[in-house]
Each structure stands twice: as structure tokens, then as C-alpha cells.
A and B are shown apart, each in its own frame.
Chain A
Amino acid sequence: MIEQAWIIAIIPIVAWLIIFLFAKALKEKVAYVGILAMGISLLLSVLTFSEALGGTVEKSFPWAVVGDIKIPVGFQVDPLTAVMLLVITIVSLMVQIYSVGYMHGDVRYAKYYAIVSLFSAAMLGLVLANNFFWLVLSWEIMGLSSYLLISHWYEKPEAAAAGMKAFITTRIGDIGLLLGTIMLFVYTHSFEFNVIAEKIHAGEINQGIVTVAALLVFAGGVGKSAQFPLHVWLPDAMAGPTPGSALIHAATMVAAGVYLVARAYGIFVATPYALFWVALIGGFTALFAATIATVMTDIKKVLAYSTVSQLGYMMLGLGAGSYTAGIFHLMTHAFFKSLLFLGSGSVIHAVHSQEMHEMGGLRKKLPITYWTFLIGTAALAGIPPFSGFWSKDEILLAAYRSPYPVLFWMGVATAGLTAYYMTRAVILTFFGQPRDHHKYEHAHESPPVMTVPLVILATLAAVSGLPGSPFLHNAFGEFVKFGHGHEAEPSSFVMIIAISAALLGVLAGVAIYGYKVISREKAIRSWRPLYLVLKNKYYVDEFYMAIFVRGTVLLAEIVGFFDRYIIDGLVNLVGWLGMQLSFLSGLFDKYVIDGMVNGVAAITMALGNSARRLQTGFVQSYAITLFAGVVIGLILIQLIGG
């Protein structure tokens, strides 16, 4: 199977085509097409994974040739790809099964399934590609899919705007990736990751060039993985259907940026400076987004900022030098975050609201959702032995062992905040008294088609950390590693700090929202300026709106005005002067070039009455200009050629 792994990406494309072409005939049966395709892809991914344990495969074929330059098409299956294939197909399959219930009766049910298939195909293609060109191609198809998915309910202005914002914001990063790709090609004459890495490793490329190229490539990751300062699109993207969010924000799209850094790790390790920036941006984003998540009251917004934060965590791991930790967290996060999104979807499905202040006490009404959500929370908060604990611990360990201790403390603070805001979310949603009785009364547990995926994902969220734990001899790290890999020496200090931070966060959450030991209102009042800054997400959106969006529109208006009144004004002025002149020349042309006029007039005759309504005399102008031109030409020739 591993030799034909590319088929895994083709199957959902076929599904997309079938859904697209037969949407009307199939109606809601399109779901089965998508699910069947993803099921097959999952099966093949499992086979591929098992074969990848034995060794990697890479294949390349020429795709387009220009002069001596060849653009290849090819794929590889190495441990990184094998893991990604599994993660993507599992999450996508769960999302699609869940959507049968969640999207039932949607106005654009078929379109939704078509996009989800395309989305999955793009992400699968992305992790299979063995070169930058096809990575960029899949990357942008994913950008398109996310745009379509986010603006799925485009009748709502905020959904339409969010789709556009996502596409344009990520595209700013994409330009970096594009330029980085081109730059690497110019210096290495290759698009293929392995060839580029080898040439850099051999020291053939100037260090400064490598650093710039790596930072450019990283810019692409910053956009797609919603890292500061391009994080703004992700929270708005919540306007899309919730299962779509689960797909975008767990296994595809946002994971692509982290994957990109991992895939191009051969470039990054050659330049400590770039790697430092990856870690710094990652660490900063992790902390920054976590603080915002603590004050959000929309359950999806909490999860959205949590996603931004956790992606920062992955970048931090990669930047701190642990390839394995970054990928490991990418995997565990994909499971528990898709679980949490789908869980929130189940809640939203039940109460028709995303505001946590309108929920409360739902654990009795939605027992399965509650228990699975709790497991997801434990995993995200880093409570042992759930999956997030193991992967977070590895990242913190890498940061701890890195030359910059500040990265470690950023990670610790984020871990504490994460535990806090998730505890808060769980309590507000599932505990206490119902705050909106009408909504509470009508709430009911979701159908099995939605809860079964929750249970499966909860199982994975619980146990998927174990391959990276000492219980299984760190099997994950043995399989997914960069080069020969180097195990950071375990540290009980790091583990104790990580557990303490998580517990502290949980305790704080319980104290404020559970037992109300500390009054929430009082805290907000005494910390009002800080609260407002967080509530307004540090005013980044407002700043971008004022500077970049309005600035660009203003610039466009200026150009439009300049074009219309200055440039075209000049043109019209010249035209007017010409008309004055042609009056004089009219006399001239009557006598001098009569013959030419007759010649051209013949054409006019042929056109019959076509010319009737147009200004006559125009044809004469044509002739005279022609004549004048030839005269000038002959003079010029004399001047230059003589």
C-alpha cells in the first residue's frame, strides 16, 4: 500500500466530485459518499502506517519542464506523514459521521459534505507531498476549502466576512511561504524537501540565505496556524458550522502550519536564529491566546483561543528543538480538540446557543456529552494520564532544556491558564443551576450518530498520549524523530511544575466558578482595565481594521481617484486639443490626401449603414494621422539611421 499511498488523497477527491455532480439526486445521502470515502482512506492509512514502521518511501516524477528546470510531482511516506495520515483520516471520519446528525436539514447539506471531502483531500495531499510546489498547491486548496466552510452560512454577514478574513489573513502568510519556496529553489535548484535539506546540511548555502528562507517559510505557518500576529482569522472562523470548526481547528488547516515547520525541519535546524523565532512566536502566542480564552463567554470562542494557544505550544516545542514533541502534541491535540469542538457542537445542538451564560447544569441532560467533554478537558488541561499531559510535558521539557528559560515559564503559565479556562468552561456549561430555564427544559442528548464519534474521540483523547509515555518506552519518539533524534533527559522537576500548574488552574477555576470563593464580579471590577483589554482581545482587530483594512481601502480610493481624474483627465485634455487641431487639418486633408480618404471610405461603404450613427469625418482623421505618422517616421529614420 505504501507504494501507492497517494491514493489516500485521491479517494476523497473522487468523493468530492461525486457529491458535487450528483448533489441533487443524492440529497442527504451524499453523507454516505463522504463517509465511505474517508473510511476507505482511513483503512489505507492504517495499512500505510503499518508498512511505514518498516521504512520510508519517496517517489518523484517530472510534472512540468521549463528549459533546464523541472517541477516534480511526488510523494513520500515517512513516520511524520504516516502519523498525519492516520490523524487526519480519523478526525475527518468522525467529523463526517457526526455531521450526519448535526447538519441534518441544513440548506446546503451537499455543499457542506463536498467541501469537507475537498478539505480532507487537500490536507492529505499536503502531508503526502514531497516537495514545496505540491505542498503550496494543497495548502491553497485548503485555504479555499476553509473559506467556503467558514462562510457556509453566507446569508449571515459575519459568516461572509469571516470567510474573507480567513482567506486574506492566511494569504499574507502564504506570500512568505511562496517567496521562501522560490528562494530555496533559486539557491538549491530543487523543490524537494529532502534535496533542499541535504544541500543545506552539506553547507552549500549561505547561512544568511537559509535563515531568511526559513523565516519566510515560517510566515506561511504563522498564517495557517493562526500564530500572532496573524491569529485574528481563527476566532472569527467560528461563524462556520461547528463540525467544520472541529475539522479546521484540529486535524487540518491549522495543523498544516505546524506540519510545515516539521516538514521543513531540515532547513530550520540549520539556522538557530530562525528556530528561536519559531519558539518565541509560539511561546508568546500560547500565552497571549490563553489569557484571552479566560474571559470569553462564547463556548466556541474559548475553544478557538485555546486552539491558537495550543498551536503556539506546538510551535514552541518545534522551536525549542524537539521535533518529536511538536508532532506528538499535534496528534494528541487533534483528538482532544476535535472532541471538544464536537462536544460543544452537541451542547449548541441541545440549547441553540453558544453563550455559556445561558447554559449551566447540563450534565444531567447531556450525560454522554458531559463525560466526553470532561475527558477532552482533562486531556487539554494536561491532567495525567490523559493524552495532553504527555505531549505537553515533552514540550515543556524541550523548552526547559533550551537555552532560553523564559520559553519554559511561558509554557508553564500557559498550562496553568489552560487548566483554568477549561475548568471554567466545564463548570459554566455543565454544573450549577440552569441559567436559562427555557433552553434547559428543551435540551436533550444528541442522537447516537453524534455521540458515538464523541466516545471514540474521547477514548483517543484519553489514551493517545500513552505511546509517548514511559509506560510504552516512548514508542512515539522512537518512531517519529528527526535525524537520529535525541531524547531530552527527563526531568522530574518539569513534570512536577507541569502538574502543579495544571492543578492550580483547575483549583482557581473551581474556586471562582464552582464554590464562588472568589467573587467573579468583584474580580472583574477590581481588574477592570485588564479585563477590558482581554475582553477586546488586546484590541488587535481594531488596530488591524484601522491601519491595514481602512488603509488599503483608502489607498485604493486614492488610486481610483487619481486614475479617473488625473490620468484620464490628461488623456481627455489631449483629446480635446487634438480635436481643435483637426479642425485646422480638415482644410488640409480636403485637398491633399483625397486619394487616401477615398481608399478608406471604401471600407466604410462596405460597412454600409454601420457607420451611419457615428461621427463622419472620423475616417479622415484616421487617414491624416496615418499620413502624419509616416512623415514623422521618415524624418526619424533620417535622423537616426543616417
Chain B
Amino acid sequence: MLSSLIFIPLLGSLAILLVPREQDRTVKWVGTIFGLIPLLIVAYLWGQYSYSAQGMQFVEHYDWIPSLGISYYLGTDGLSFPMVILTALISFLAILASWNIKNRVKDYFFLMLLLETGMMGVFVALDYVLFYVFWELVLVPMYFLIGIWGGPRREYAAIKFFLYTLIGSVIMLVGILALYFNAGLNTFDMLALAKHKFAPAFQFWVFLALFFGFAVKVPVFPFHTWLPDAHVEAPTAVSAILAGVLLKMGTYGFLRVSHPTLPEAAKALAVPIAILGLINIIYGALAAMAQKDLKKLVAYSSISHMGFTLLGLAAMTPVAIQGAAFQMFSHGLISAMLFLLVGMIYDRAHTREIAKLGGLFNTIPTIAVILAFASFASLGLPGLSGFVAEFLVFLGSFGAYRTFVIIATSGVVFTAGYYLWMIQRVLMGEAKKEYLGLPDITARELGTVVPLMIFTTLLGLFPSLLMDIMNPAILGLVAKVGGM
């Protein structure tokens, strides 16, 4: 079943290649249908998912290049299954949000589906070679999506994104190869290598290599500057995927690869990671406050929010990791929602400059109200998913990093500060005459954000929907690395 999640989008992208270039509508329909099928499959898998089982589920394991120990090995557990759900959901909504693309529609939808294949692959691969192939596969469509359909500085942003993540992934590849050769098991099996005990000094260096690769994706300060540029230039739907799913590949890398495989190093480097997380939280929030472009503000808020994941990861208690993983999912929903809304505003007002916007509550009320909702979700309003994540991270990290948690909570105030200030400047105030008569949200646009709103609220009120999936895997991980 997991293979179908990878190959149906791929099939879709091939199908799109067969559609004649001028038939935009057909392309869009094919793209949407092939985006919907994985979502339905994921829904089915969710029904089949065993909440109590330890280890991998829906496993597929075939030899690929036996002489080198490379296999086609897929499976999912509590760490990856939420990410699979997120990928299917965000990808579908992003495709739906892309219906207003006018330029080179065929190429665009081809790349979108290819991107989904890559992301799905990363989250279900259990063989390092496979993992790396998908990891790199994500890079290519993303590069073109930003570089061709982006804003005025798209080429700069695309190249920056590409170089940054490329260097990151090459160093990550070094780490992976080091694991392979050092273990001497002649296998790229991620789980088998995670069971192998590596020497502490070796662990330290390889951890650093892997960390760099993942850190660029998260992104961790000071490797984050590709993100605001990429976001600002990327088309709306691509931004939603970038923030909603792509960044999580980095933190997923920690959870799946570096922490379980190199637990000694993870423990030794926990404090620096916590400090980096803290910097992300505070620095990202302050930088967000300074932004004059609405989309950049949301981009920096992503940096800030991913810091919570790092902090939780560093604390290595079940509650903190639960919070970190919950934040990955929750931030995926909320940031995608924010980017979609910013895109809707840009499509109408043709500007993202905060100073030029204003009074949107009275001109495009539905969009404005949903943006306010998403902002409150992002600033951690209880009853919505973001609060659960932050609360769990604080609760789980307090024992190990009391001071850090106390400092991190100030980030919560800054976050409230920049969002409310944004709401005051962008949404409140008298309606501006240049924006009078703008059309409010369309049914299709509503369709892209309402599912995210529902999920955000559901998980805020019933977090166990997700926590029960994650629990067994997280307890397993903590048993290996934890005990801080």
C-alpha cells in the first residue's frame, strides 16, 4: 500500500505528460485526481493502522541491489505516519490551490506530483539509499517550481535554495556512507543500522554531518536564510508545501536517523541543540516582528516555530518528543494555512507590504477572519493544535532545561506581539478605498483552508487523535536515547 502512495503521484505526473499542452483544464483535473487518490489511501491506512503495535506497519521489503545491501524497503510507524498524513493532505490542498496558475500549467502540475512522490518517499523509506534518492528527488521539482513560477527574484531564491539544501544533503550523504562502511553490515537498512552500536567518537562526527544536512532543511539558525527568500519568491501553493511538509523532512531526519542511530552523540550534543532551538524561537520571532512583507513575516514565524521542535528533541523525554512531533504536524497545518491566505490576499491586493494593506476585515471579511484564526492558531491559542505542541514541549523540557524553557516562553509573548500587530495593521482599521470591491474568498479557495481549520481545531481539542498514533514509536525512541 505504501508503494501506491509513492507511485500514484508519479503515475499522475506521467499521465500529465500525455495530456496535450493546450488543455489546461484537463491537466488540472488529472493533477487534482491524482492528488486526491493518495489522500484517500492514507485515510484507508489510518483506518487500518494499529495503535498498539510496536515497530513498522504496512512493510514492503524487496531486494534491490543485494550485493551492496540496498533494498526496496518501506514501512511506517508513529514517527512517520503523521507525516504521511500531512504530506497527502497538504499536497492535495496545494494542488487545489494551484488552479489559478496560468503560465505553463502542464509543467507545473507535472512537478507538483513529482514533488509529492519525493516527499512521500522520504517519509516511508527504510533504506538509506532509497531515502537519499527521494530526498534529492524533492529538491529538483522544488527548484524548478520556485525558479519558473516564482516572483521577481525567483532565480536568486531558487539557486539559493538549491545550493543550500544540496550542500546539506551532500554532507548528509557523507554521514550515511560513513554509517554504512563503519558498521560493516553490508546493509543500508535504516533499522538494522540503528541497532548497531557505533563508537562514541565516530558517532559524534557523523552526527554532526547528518545534523547539518537536516538542519538546513528545518532550517536551524544560522542556516535559515534561504527560507525567507524561497518563501517570498515561491508561488503560494509551493510555499504551503515548503512550510507545511518540506521543513519537516529535517526534523523527521533527526527522529528517524540521527537520534536513534547515534544516541550517544545525540545525548552529548543535546545542550547545543537545545540552545539552537531556543535561538530559533526567539530570533525567529524577533525577525518576524521586523518584517515589512506579510509573507516574510510568516516565513520567519516558521523558523521560530520549528525551534520548539528542536527544543523538544533535545530534552528527550516522552512528553517533549511528543510535543516536538506534534509541533511538526501542527505547524504543517497552520503554516500551510497562513501561506495560502497570504497568497489569496496577494492575488487580490497585488501587494504583500504590510504598510500598504489595512482594513481587510471590512473588504474581504472571510479571508481576513480565517487569517485571524490562523494567526491565533500559530500564536498558540489553547483549543487549537499549536498550543498542545508548545505546552507538551515546555512540560517535557522543564525538567532538563528549566532556564531554556523560561526563556523560550518569552518567545510566546513576542509571537503574540507580531501576530496581533500584523492583525492590527493588515486586518483592522477603516476599509481602504483601493481595496473596496475586491472579491471575497471563492469556494475553491475555501476548500483549501477549511480542512486545515478543521484539523487544527480537532487536534487542539482532541490531541489524542494524533498522540495515540505517535506514542509507541516515541516511547521506543526515548527508551533508546532518553534517560536525560
0 or 1 for each of B328-339: is its CB under 8 Å from A? (1 = yes): 000000000000
How far, in angstroms, from A632 to B167 measured CA to CA in the complex? 12
Name A608's contact: one of B107, B155, B206 (CB within 8 Å).
Answer: B107
Given A144-B376, A625-B166, also A164-B464 (CB < 8 A): no
Whether A633 contacts B202 by the Cβ 8 Å rule is: no
Specify the chain A residue showing the minimal Cβ separation from B318. Answer: A67
Least CB distance from A614 to B in Å reads 5
Q: Which residues of chain A are near B421, meaning CB under 8 Å?
A: 164
0 or 1 for each of B347-369: is its CB under 8 Å from A? (1 = yes): 00000000000010110000000
B151 within 8 A of A: no
Given A567-B225, A625-B166, also A179-B290 (CB < 8 A): no
Whether B416 contacts A171 by the Cβ 8 Å rule is: yes
Name A563's contact: one of B225, B226, B376, B417 (CB within 8 Å).
Answer: B225
Whether A613 contacts B467 by the Cβ 8 Å rule is: no
Which stretch of A268-276, A416-424, A433-441, A634-642 is in the interface?
A634-642
Whether A626 contacts B319 by the Cβ 8 Å rule is: no
Least CB distance from A623 to B in Å reads 10
Least CB distance from A437 to B in Å reads 32
B254 within 8 A of A: no
Q: Which residues of chain A are near B155, meaning CB under 8 Å?
A: 614-615
How far, in angstroms, from A530 to B166 measured CA to CA in the complex? 67
A523 within 8 A of B: no
How far, in angstroms, from A462 to B174 measured CA to CA in the complex? 80
How far, in angstroms, from A390 to B144 measured CA to CA in the complex? 75
Q: Which residues of chain A are near B275, meaning CB under 8 Å?
A: none
B283 within 8 A of A: yes
Given A164-B424, A178-B409, also A630-B173 (CB < 8 A): yes
Which stretch of B118-126, B157-165, B245-253 is in the interface?
B157-165
Least CB distance from B316 to A in Å reads 12
Whether B414 contacts A186 by the Cβ 8 Å rule is: no
Whether B424 contacts A161 by the Cβ 8 Å rule is: yes
Whether A613 contacts B140 by the Cβ 8 Å rule is: no
B54 within 8 A of A: no
Q: Which residues of chain B are near A151, meaning CB under 8 Å?
A: 428
0 or 1 for each of A108-150: is its CB under 8 Å from B? (1 = yes): 0000000000000000000000000100110111001001000
0 or 1 for each of B406-427: is its CB under 8 Å from A? (1 = yes): 1001101110111011011001
Q: Which residues of chain B are near A279, meaning CB under 8 Å?
A: none
Whether B416 contacts A167 by the Cβ 8 Å rule is: yes
A64 within 8 A of B: yes
> Which residues in chain A, 330-360, are within 8 Å of chain B measured between CB atoms?
none
Which stretch of B24-32, B82-90, B393-401 is in the interface?
B393-401
Q: Which residues of chain B are near A630, meaning CB under 8 Å?
A: 170, 173-174, 177
> Which residues in chain B, 137-173, are within 8 Å of chain A measured between CB atoms?
140, 144, 147-148, 155, 158-160, 162-164, 166-167, 170-171, 173
0 or 1 for each of A302-342: is its CB under 8 Å from B? (1 = yes): 00000000000000000000000000000000000000000
B178 within 8 A of A: yes
A506 within 8 A of B: no
Whether B167 contacts A625 by the Cβ 8 Å rule is: yes
Name B319's contact: one of A63, A69, A633 (CB within 8 Å).
Answer: A69
Whether A567 contacts B222 by the Cβ 8 Å rule is: yes
B44 within 8 A of A: no
Which stretch of A40-48, A479-487, A513-521, A551-559 is in the interface?
A551-559
0 or 1 for each of B451-484: is its CB under 8 Å from A? (1 = yes): 0000000000001100110010011001000000
By size class, the interface of chain B is 35 or more
Q: Which residues of chain A are near B163, meaning CB under 8 Å?
A: 575, 578
How far, in angstroms, from A387 to B87 measured CA to CA in the complex? 61
How far, in angstroms, from A607 to B137 measured CA to CA in the complex? 13
How far, in angstroms, from A231 to B430 measured CA to CA in the complex? 29
Whether B107 contacts A557 by the Cβ 8 Å rule is: no
A472 within 8 A of B: no
Whether B177 contacts A634 by the Cβ 8 Å rule is: yes
> How many of A's residues come within 8 Å of B, CB to CB?
71
Whether A175 contacts B283 by the Cβ 8 Å rule is: no
Least CB distance from B14 to A in Å reads 10
Given A140-B382, A155-B429, A185-B395, also A556-B202 (CB < 8 A): no
Given A175-B413, A186-B398, also A556-B289 (CB < 8 A): yes
How far, in angstroms, from A186 to B397 measured CA to CA in the complex? 10
Q: Which residues of chain A are near B428, meaning CB under 8 Å?
A: 151, 154-155, 160
A568 within 8 A of B: yes
Q: Which residues of chain B are near A632, meaning CB under 8 Å?
A: 174
Given A185-B395, A186-B399, also A66-B471 (CB < 8 A): yes
- Among A63, A171, A553, which residue has the most Cβ atoms of chain B within 10 A? A171
Q: Which residues of chain B are near A640, meaning CB under 8 Å?
A: 178, 182, 201-202, 205-206
0 or 1 for each of A606-633: is its CB under 8 Å from B? (1 = yes): 0111110111001000100110111011
> Which residues in chain B, 275-334, are within 8 Å of chain A measured between CB atoms?
283, 286-287, 289-291, 318-319, 322
B69 within 8 A of A: no
Q: Which residues of chain B are near A625, meaning CB under 8 Å?
A: 166-167, 170
- Among B162, B391, B475, which residue has the most Cβ atoms of chain A within 10 A? B391
How far, in angstroms, from A66 to B162 measured CA to CA in the complex? 38
A455 within 8 A of B: no
Given A610-B111, A614-B148, also A637-B178 (CB < 8 A): yes
B405 within 8 A of A: yes
Whether A172 contacts B170 by the Cβ 8 Å rule is: no
> Which residues in chain A, 143-201, are within 8 Å of chain B measured between CB atoms?
144, 147, 151, 154-155, 157, 160-161, 163-164, 167-168, 171-172, 175, 178-179, 182-183, 185-186
How far, in angstroms, from A168 to B163 measured CA to CA in the complex? 40
A605 within 8 A of B: no
Given A552-B417, A614-B144, also A69-B291 (CB < 8 A): no
Whether A64 contacts B362 by the Cβ 8 Å rule is: no
Whether A168 contacts B430 by the Cβ 8 Å rule is: no
Q: Which residues of chain A are near B381, meaning CB under 8 Å?
A: 140-141, 144
Name A155's contact: one of B144, B395, B414, B430 (CB within 8 Å).
Answer: B430
0 or 1 for each of B195-220: is its CB under 8 Å from A? (1 = yes): 00000011001100100000000000
B392 within 8 A of A: yes
Name A629's contact: one of B111, B170, B414 (CB within 8 Å).
Answer: B170
Specify the chain B residue showing the minimal Cβ separation from A626. Answer: B170
Whether B420 contacts A168 by the Cβ 8 Å rule is: yes
A384 within 8 A of B: no
Specify the chain B residue showing the minimal Cβ separation from A164. Answer: B420
Specify the chain B residue showing the minimal Cβ separation from A628. Answer: B170
Whether A556 contacts B225 by the Cβ 8 Å rule is: no
A488 within 8 A of B: no
How far, in angstroms, from A641 to B167 measured CA to CA in the complex? 23
A571 within 8 A of B: yes
Q: Which residues of chain A are near B64, meaning CB under 8 Å?
A: none
Specify the chain B residue showing the minimal Cβ separation from A175. Answer: B409
Whether A603 contacts B290 by the Cβ 8 Å rule is: no
> Which residues in chain B, 94-145, are within 8 Å of chain A measured between CB atoms?
104, 107, 111, 140, 144
Name B398's contact: one of A182, A608, A629 (CB within 8 Å).
Answer: A182
Q: Which residues of chain A are near B166, meaning CB under 8 Å?
A: 622, 625-626
Least CB distance from A260 to B in Å reads 15
Whether A556 contacts B318 by the Cβ 8 Å rule is: no
Q: Which residues of chain B are near A563, meaning CB under 8 Å?
A: 225, 283, 287
How far, in angstroms, from A66 to B174 measured CA to CA in the complex? 36
0 or 1 for each of A539-581: is its CB under 8 Å from B? (1 = yes): 0000000000000110111011101000110010001001000
Query: 9 shortest A-B CB distances, which residue pairs?
Result: A560-B290, A629-B170, A633-B174, A67-B318, A556-B289, A154-B428, A137-B382, A559-B286, A160-B428
12 A-B Cβ contacts within 8 A? A67-B318, A136-B382, A168-B420, A171-B413, A179-B405, A552-B414, A555-B286, A556-B418, A571-B164, A610-B148, A640-B178, A640-B182
Extra 15 A-B pairs, beta carbons < 8 Å, given A68-B318, A553-B289, A575-B163: A64-B467, A65-B464, A66-B319, A67-B478, A164-B423, A179-B409, A186-B395, A186-B399, A552-B286, A559-B286, A575-B160, A613-B148, A614-B147, A636-B178, A641-B178
